[in-house]
A and B are shown apart, each in its own frame.
Chain A
Amino acid sequence: MKRLLSQMATFLFTAAGPAAAEEISLLPASAYDRSAIYIDLALFWIATIVLIVLIRLKLREIERVQSMERKEDGETAPLLD
């Protein structure tokens, strides 16, 4: 349930950025359109950086576990952990 809610929130957050602020864009004409583009760019960067951070979290966890040198369940351990 919590997972579902957090997924929906993140979806609305990222999709709402490009969706809400601009429907049709051209090379910046009005100030409103121009600011929409910059805001969307900022939102995109934030979304990207959060994604990079999350991947790093996952990677660090994997490396933490690997460094414990667990004799893993052999061949059946999942590949992407």
Chain B
Amino acid sequence: MSFPRLKGWVSDRYDVADEMREIARHKLVPVHGREIWYYTGGIVLFLFVIQFITGIALAFYYVPYFEKAHESVIEIVTKLNMGWFFRSLHHWGAQAAIFVMFVHVFATLLLKSYRKPRELLWVSGLCLLGISIFFGLSGYFLLWDERAFAAVRVATGGAGNLPVFGGWIKAFLRGGIDVTGETLTRFYAFHVCLLPLLALAVICFHLLLVQFHGMSVPLSQQKKIVKQVPFFPNILYRDFMIWLFVLAVVVTLATLLPPEIAKKADPLAPPPEGVKPEWYFLFLFQTLKLFPGTLAGMNGETIAIVLISLAILFFFLLPFFDRKSGLGERSPLFTAIGIAYLIYFIVMTIVGYVT
């Protein structure tokens, strides 16, 4: 099926096909022992596309007014053709996207892909992680059930404990002093408008940089590169196969484990028993729990949040601290730091889950 006349019509006006093909042909991917980690970024992109599609579908029917929000979700789930499925797919797509994103972050961390000249990829990537987590929080809240309400109260309250900016951030997120219907409207605007635009912009930047720099080769593999294969079609088809498999896994999870809908939120009621934030927040809250109420006369929570912020800031600026890998030398200290972050994250998440 080659449509020569259509192609002729286009090339008579926009004669760029040959240049584009040349550019595409030059995109090469190195083959070595760690190449499997290259696929994680593409998987996240694919999952984001799924989230966009299912999110738009849900936005057709969701009502962002706090009196009606919970009801509208129940209507989607019970009254619409396959409504339960798209909501479930949106939920599991989000979980999978954030999970694979953490895998991608830690893979690039331990393989030191952040080193010069790719520092901006690391920074933009972490921005995307932050955006995704905020996507998760705001999306979760839109259900307006007890658990989501309690979770957002705690999360925004926690943000409020940041020194200097905390109160302002809390008020900005909440749209007031407490979590109310105003917060819902605001979070809807974040989730449906602000965050998608921001995410699209940063993703475009991130992808552009990947095209510009090419794929980073870990220092340990640089002498062992077997060959370079063209991205089109070799790697692209592999990407498709992996994405299809990921799709099947997410669809299975969505079908067999649809997310629950708790009771409608009541701002005056106490939070339900054993309420926990989403799993990607657990490590933060476990860390907070490690600190006593007051430490050396100062508010323990503030100290905890300052320390956490410093740790996150260090994480952000890692490429600028890791001079050695920037020079192409082995940097075992930062490997150890990376492993420490990873282990801390995993352990704290698990501890937060079981307690």
Contacts and interface: CB of A to CB of B under 8 A. Distances in A.
A59 B252 CA distance: 26
Contact of B255 (A37, A48, A58, A66): A37
Contacts, number: 65
Interface in A18-72: 18, 22-27, 37, 40-41, 44-45, 48-49, 51-52, 55-56, 58-59, 62-63, 66
A80 interface: yes
Contacts of A73: none
Interface residues of B, number: 29
B24 A44 contact: no
A79 B21 contact: yes
B255 A41 contact: yes
Contacts of A66: 234
Nearest to B22: A75
A52 to B, nearest CB: 5
Given A41-B251, A41-B255, A59-B233, A52 B85 contact: no
Main secondary structure of the interface of B (DSSP, over half): helix
B232 A24 contact: no
A69 B106 CA distance: 38
Nearest to A58: B237
A48 B244 contact: yes
A59 B241 CA distance: 10
Interface of A: 18, 22-27, 37, 40-41, 44-45, 48-49, 51-52, 55-56, 58-59, 62-63, 66, 75, 79-81
